[in-house]
Homo-oligomer: A and B are copies of this chain.
Amino acid sequence: MYEGVVQDLIDELGRLPGVGPKSAQRIAFHILQADPTDVRRLAHALTEVKEKVRFCTVCGNVSEADLCRVCQDARRDPSLICVVEEPKDVVAVERTREFRGRYHVLGGAISPIEGVGPDDLRIRELMQRLADGTVTELILATDPNLEGEATATYLARLLKPMGLKVTRLASGLPVGGDLEYADEVTLGRAFEGRRLLDV
């Protein structure tokens, strides 16, 4: 419908997650009218990220060096590991400023439907990190959905013989949420996990 290179750009943009044909068109026309240096900066950022970003050899988080910033930081508690599915989960946990331990990024969750089994995740690397006995607690922070729960259960069973403290993030009502709109599973979990108020 468009002239060659404009259509090429719309096609390439349309391949990005969450960018439909209409948004791709809108972004393409924005780029047509944008300052050339801005566009060059975006193109450069895209190629830079592919050239420079690797994955941390210890925890699997994104990193520009062999070790990511968390693994490099000597102030982070080495006895505590938070296990997450993806690098973006690390960012989500970091944002809470609640956690001062280290991470382990699995690279996904067990999902028979998508053909992802335990061997496709960085579980062997996790076991290696636990071998020297430094780690005493493992927090399983996989997503609170079917795949995340299955992965947490699998890991908990696998780790049981090692005598570690293995915990799972609490499920319950989201803060600022509305009880009326909570789904029954979440509300059920909130009842299960109810806490005594010490007043």
Q: Which residues of A contact B (CB under 8 A)?
A: 1-6, 8-9, 11-13, 15-19, 23, 25-32, 34, 36, 38-50, 52-53, 62-64, 68-69, 86-88, 91, 94-95
Q: Please report the C-alpha to C-alpha distance between residue A10 and residue B176 in the assembled complex, in whole angstroms.
A: 27
**CB pair A17 B26 closer than 8 Å:** yes
| CB neighbours of A41 from chain B (8 A) | 12
Contact with A48, one of B2, B9, B19 (Cβ below 8 angstroms): B9
**CB pair B94 A3 closer than 8 Å:** no
**CB pair A49 B26 closer than 8 Å:** no
**CB pair B29 A87 closer than 8 Å:** yes
Supposing A26-B17, A42-B12 touch, asked if A31 and B3 sit within 8 A by C-beta, the answer is no
**CB pair B15 A38 closer than 8 Å:** yes
State the oligomeric state as a number of copies. 2
Contact with A46, one of B9, B23, B88, B91 (Cβ below 8 angstroms): B9
The DSSP consensus for interface residues of chain A is helix
Q: Please report the C-alpha to C-alpha distance between residue A25 and residue B48 in the assembled complex, in whole angstroms.
A: 16
Of chain B, the residue at the smallest CB distance from A87 is B29
- Residue in A5, A36, A62 whose Cβ sees the most chain B Cβ within 10 Å: A5
A16-B30, A31-B46, A32-B49 known; 15 new pairs, CB 8 Å cut-off, are: A3-B53, A3-B64, A5-B49, A6-B53, A12-B41, A19-B23, A19-B27, A32-B50, A32-B62, A34-B50, A39-B47, A40-B47, A42-B46, A43-B46, A46-B46
Q: Please report the C-alpha to C-alpha distance between residue A1 and residue B13 in the assembled complex, in whole angstroms.
A: 25
